[in-house]
Amino acid sequence: MLIRFASGSLVACVPIAIASLVTLVVFGPNPQQVALVLAIWCFVPCAWGLWAMLSPSGWVPRRLPVWGFILGILAGLMAIVVLNLPSRMLGISMSNAAKVLVVLLAGVFYYVLWMVVSVVYRQLLRSSAEPSRA
Protein backbone atom coordinates (compact mmCIF):
# COMPACT_ATOMS: atom_id res chain seq x y z
CA MET A 1 0.00 0.00 0.00
CA LEU A 2 2.81 2.40 0.84
CA ILE A 3 4.41 1.78 -2.56
CA ARG A 4 1.11 2.63 -4.24
CA PHE A 5 0.87 5.86 -2.27
CA ALA A 6 4.47 6.78 -3.03
CA SER A 7 4.17 6.11 -6.75
CA GLY A 8 0.97 8.16 -7.10
CA SER A 9 2.30 11.06 -5.04
CA LEU A 10 5.67 11.08 -6.77
CA VAL A 11 4.23 11.30 -10.25
CA ALA A 12 1.65 13.95 -9.24
CA CYS A 13 4.31 16.30 -7.88
CA VAL A 14 5.95 16.94 -11.25
CA PRO A 15 2.94 18.12 -13.31
CA ILE A 16 1.63 20.07 -10.33
CA ALA A 17 4.93 21.92 -9.97
CA ILE A 18 4.97 22.71 -13.70
CA ALA A 19 1.32 23.81 -13.71
CA SER A 20 1.89 26.00 -10.64
CA LEU A 21 4.85 27.67 -12.29
CA VAL A 22 2.88 28.29 -15.49
CA THR A 23 -0.05 29.67 -13.49
CA LEU A 24 2.19 32.07 -11.62
CA VAL A 25 3.92 33.19 -14.83
CA VAL A 26 0.63 33.70 -16.69
CA PHE A 27 -1.32 35.38 -13.89
CA GLY A 28 1.56 36.87 -11.95
CA PRO A 29 1.73 36.85 -8.18
CA ASN A 30 -1.92 37.85 -7.81
CA PRO A 31 -3.02 35.80 -4.80
CA GLN A 32 -6.70 36.66 -5.09
CA GLN A 33 -6.96 35.24 -8.60
CA VAL A 34 -4.97 32.03 -8.19
CA ALA A 35 -5.33 31.25 -4.49
CA LEU A 36 -8.04 28.62 -4.97
CA VAL A 37 -6.12 26.73 -7.65
CA LEU A 38 -2.82 26.83 -5.77
CA ALA A 39 -4.51 25.68 -2.56
CA ILE A 40 -6.15 22.77 -4.35
CA TRP A 41 -2.87 21.81 -5.96
CA CYS A 42 -1.24 21.54 -2.55
CA PHE A 43 -3.49 18.56 -1.87
CA VAL A 44 -3.26 16.87 -5.27
CA PRO A 45 -0.17 14.68 -4.60
CA CYS A 46 -1.80 13.38 -1.43
CA ALA A 47 -5.05 12.75 -3.29
CA TRP A 48 -3.19 10.85 -6.02
CA GLY A 49 -1.45 8.73 -3.40
CA LEU A 50 -4.74 7.96 -1.67
CA TRP A 51 -6.39 7.21 -5.03
CA ALA A 52 -3.56 4.76 -5.80
CA MET A 53 -4.09 3.09 -2.43
CA LEU A 54 -7.83 2.74 -3.16
CA SER A 55 -7.21 1.04 -6.49
CA PRO A 56 -8.57 -2.52 -6.66
CA SER A 57 -5.80 -5.06 -6.03
CA GLY A 58 -6.48 -6.85 -9.31
CA TRP A 59 -5.95 -3.60 -11.20
CA VAL A 60 -2.42 -3.00 -9.89
CA PRO A 61 -0.26 -2.29 -11.82
CA ARG A 62 -1.69 -3.15 -15.26
CA ARG A 63 -4.94 -1.24 -15.01
CA LEU A 64 -3.69 1.77 -13.08
CA PRO A 65 -4.05 3.98 -16.19
CA VAL A 66 -7.78 3.13 -16.31
CA TRP A 67 -8.01 3.93 -12.60
CA GLY A 68 -6.27 7.24 -13.36
CA PHE A 69 -8.73 7.95 -16.18
CA ILE A 70 -11.56 7.64 -13.66
CA LEU A 71 -9.74 10.11 -11.39
CA GLY A 72 -9.23 12.45 -14.35
CA ILE A 73 -12.94 12.45 -15.12
CA LEU A 74 -13.72 13.20 -11.47
CA ALA A 75 -11.09 15.97 -11.34
CA GLY A 76 -12.33 17.45 -14.60
CA LEU A 77 -15.91 17.47 -13.36
CA MET A 78 -14.82 19.13 -10.14
CA ALA A 79 -12.71 21.81 -11.87
CA ILE A 80 -14.98 22.58 -14.81
CA VAL A 81 -18.50 21.93 -13.56
CA VAL A 82 -18.43 22.32 -9.77
CA LEU A 83 -15.76 24.99 -9.24
CA ASN A 84 -16.21 26.62 -12.69
CA LEU A 85 -12.51 27.48 -12.85
CA PRO A 86 -12.52 28.78 -16.47
CA SER A 87 -14.96 31.48 -15.45
CA ARG A 88 -13.25 32.24 -12.14
CA MET A 89 -9.70 32.32 -13.53
CA LEU A 90 -10.12 33.51 -17.11
CA GLY A 91 -13.51 35.16 -17.04
CA ILE A 92 -14.85 32.98 -19.86
CA SER A 93 -17.98 30.91 -19.95
CA MET A 94 -17.90 27.58 -21.70
CA SER A 95 -20.67 25.81 -23.57
CA ASN A 96 -21.78 22.41 -22.32
CA ALA A 97 -20.12 20.73 -25.31
CA ALA A 98 -16.82 22.45 -24.48
CA LYS A 99 -17.13 21.40 -20.84
CA VAL A 100 -17.66 17.76 -21.86
CA LEU A 101 -14.64 17.94 -24.17
CA VAL A 102 -12.42 19.41 -21.44
CA VAL A 103 -13.54 16.77 -18.93
CA LEU A 104 -12.76 13.99 -21.43
CA LEU A 105 -9.38 15.55 -22.20
CA ALA A 106 -8.65 15.63 -18.48
CA GLY A 107 -9.43 11.91 -18.34
CA VAL A 108 -7.08 11.19 -21.25
CA PHE A 109 -4.35 13.36 -19.71
CA TYR A 110 -4.68 11.52 -16.41
CA TYR A 111 -4.63 8.18 -18.25
CA VAL A 112 -1.23 9.08 -19.71
CA LEU A 113 0.10 10.27 -16.35
CA TRP A 114 -1.12 7.12 -14.65
CA MET A 115 0.81 5.05 -17.18
CA VAL A 116 3.84 6.68 -15.56
CA VAL A 117 2.44 5.85 -12.09
CA SER A 118 2.29 2.21 -13.18
CA VAL A 119 5.93 2.28 -14.27
CA VAL A 120 7.03 4.01 -11.05
CA TYR A 121 5.05 1.47 -9.02
CA ARG A 122 6.85 -1.41 -10.73
CA GLN A 123 10.24 0.22 -10.17
CA LEU A 124 9.56 0.89 -6.49
CA LEU A 125 8.28 -2.64 -6.03
CA ARG A 126 11.37 -4.06 -7.72
CA SER A 127 13.76 -1.90 -5.68
CA SER A 128 12.03 -2.81 -2.41
CA ALA A 129 12.37 -6.51 -3.20
CA GLU A 130 16.12 -6.26 -3.81
CA PRO A 131 18.32 -7.00 -0.80
CA SER A 132 20.07 -3.99 0.75
CA ARG A 133 23.68 -3.40 -0.15
CA ALA A 134 24.74 -1.63 3.01
What pLDDT digit, counting tens, does each position of 18-52 carry?
888 887 788 777 777 677 777 778 898 999 999 99
* Mean pLDDT score, 92-117: 94
> b or e along 9-38 (b: 16 or more beta carbons within 10 Å of the residue's beta carbon)?
bbbbeebbeeebeebeeeeeeeeeebeebe
Is residue 98 pLDDT above 80, yes or no?
yes
Is residue 90 pLDDT above 80, yes or no?
no
State residue 49's pLDDT score.
94
Distances in Å between the Cα of 129 and the Cα atoms of 32, 62, 124 are 47, 19, 9
Question: How large is the greatest C-alpha to C-alpha distance in the chain, in angstroms?
Answer: 59
Predicted confidence band of residue 133 (pLDDT cuts 50, 70, 90): low
- If one counts every other C-beta atom within 10 angstroms of the C-beta of residue 125, the result is 14
Task: Give me the chain's average pLDDT, please.
Answer: 88
> Cα(132)–Cα(19) distance, rounded to whole angstroms?
37
* Mean pLDDT score, 110-125: 95
Q: Which residues contact 68 (CB under 8 A, 6 or more apart)?
A: 51, 110, 111, 113, 114, 115, 117
* Mean pLDDT score, 71-92: 88
Return the half-sphere exposure (C-beta side, CA atoms, 13 A cut-off) of residue 71.
26
Q: Which of 43-47, 61-65, 84-88, 113-117 has the lowest mean pLDDT?
A: 84-88
